[in-house]
Amino acid sequence: MPHQSMSHERAAHTLEEFFTGHRAVRGAIRESDVTIAHLRLGTYTPEVTKFDALEDTYLYAQLIARALSTATIHTITDIGAGSSIPTLWAIRSVGGWNGRVEASDVDAAALDVSRRNAEKTGSLAQYAFQHASLFDVLPHLVTGPGHLIAANLPYLPIPLPSAGPDMMTVNGGPDGTQYLLPLLAHPMEQGTLVALQWSSLSDPVAVMRCIERSYAVLSVTAHQTPFGMYTNANPIRAHLEQQRREGRAVFSTNKAGEHAYMFLGTILQRC
């Protein structure tokens, strides 16, 4: 449920309380900090899809690796898997893992990239690929202890007139929550783990409320990042400033007028 408009200060304060309450690990990252070399899979340099925000992919890969180290997992359902670099990287970084990965994406070309990356790293037998939207995946989602539901779905608030096909990899709807809230609110068996990447731009108060209603929060990371290619482009930047005025996006502005927001990584357990 979208909340009534609140001040940006109040939304920022609520987010800070969430960080403090869950001992968030803080960091900072810039687009230029991560190159494909950071995502190499052994000697193989993986293929990327048209979503090439490598710092976002890298943080999501680390999030999945942390989730794999948190509990015994036998199945990862990666929704909006893109290139599958995050699961392939995470599995290597924990020293190997024998479970199954169900990778789905609405973009068939992305799944072709996924398949090639899994094949070139000798991991194809662990993977099943499904060309489907989140909304087709949810009704059949298998959950419960041992299942990790992982998602780095589009979470940027994009104003409706800009929401064309070229924005498909980042468009989280006008407030950034069009995928986050349905996934979080979906019924899941107790004990299911959820590794979710999102941002302080994506109506964090609404997302936190949804999390606190149904999950125990196992870990939170918050990486500050300057506005970049999408977020600085108008009319998206102007839309985000409006979202901030309404308390639906949290970001800071320095003396030079440059904005910075946060990538958020949460590992949750369904209660």
Ligand X SMILES: C[S@@+](CC[C@H](N)C(=O)[O-])C[C@H]1O[C@@H](n2cnc3c(N)ncnc32)[C@H](O)[C@@H]1O
- Is 29 among the residues that bind ligand X (CB under 6 A)? no
Element (H, E) at 245: helix 236-245
| Backbone phi, psi, residue 21, to 5° | -60, -30
Q: What minimum distance in Å lies between the beta carbon of 260 and ligand X?
A: 19
Nearest to 86 by CA among 172, 196, 173: 196
Binding mask 95-134 for ligand X (x = CB under 6 A): ----------xxx--x----------------------xx
Selected binder of ligand X within 29, 71, 168, 260 (CB under 6 A)? 168
80 binds ligand X (CB under 6 A): yes
Rounded CA separation 167/64 (Å): 25
Site for ligand X contains 55 (CB under 6 A)? no
**Pairing status of strand 75-79 against strand 252-253:** unpaired
Establish if 265 lies at the interface with ligand X (CB under 6 A): no
Question: 100-105 and 127-131: which strand pairing?
Answer: parallel
Spatial contact of 18 and 266, defined as CB atoms under 8 Å apart? no
# residues near ligand X by CB under 6 A: 21
Question: Is 60 a residue that touches ligand X (CB under 6 A)?
Answer: yes
In DSSP notation, 64-120 reads HHHHHHHS--SEEEEET-TTSHHHHHHHHHTT---SEEEEEES-HHHHHHHHHHHHH
For tokens 């494909």, what's the residue?
36
Q: Specify the stretch interacting with ligand X by CB under 6 A; choose among 24-32, 138-146, 150-158, 251-259.
A: 150-158
Residues ≥6 apart with Cβ < 8 Å to 123: 88, 91
Quick check: 153 binds ligand X (CB under 6 A)? Answer: yes
> Which range in 122-130, 152-160, 184-192, 229-237 contacts ligand X by CB under 6 A?
152-160
152 binds ligand X (CB under 6 A): yes
Burial degree of 95 (CB within 10 A; 0-12, 13-18, 19+): exposed
Stretch that binds ligand X, among 15-23, 82-90, 121-129, 259-267 (CB under 6 A): 82-90
Length in residues, the chain: 271
Beta strand 100-105 with 75-79 is parallel
Position 93 contacts ligand X (CB under 6 A): no
Count H helices, E strands: the chain? 8, 9
Q: Is 57 in the site for ligand X (CB under 6 A)?
A: yes
- Residue range at the interface with ligand X (CB under 6 A); choices 10-18, 26-34, 74-82, 211-219: 74-82
From CA 12, how far away is CA 169, in angstroms rounded?
26
Letters for 169-198 (x = contact with ligand X by CB under 6 A, - = none) are: x-----------------------------
For the CB of residue 54, give the shortest distance to ligand X in the complex, in Å: 8
| Helix or strand (DSSP H, E) at 24 | none
Establish if 158 lies at the interface with ligand X (CB under 6 A).
Answer: no
Smallest separation (angstroms) from ligand X to the CB of 115: 14
79 or 264: whose CB is closer to ligand X? 79
Residues that bind ligand X (CB under 6 A): 49, 51, 57, 60, 79-83, 86, 105-107, 110, 133-134, 152-154, 168-169
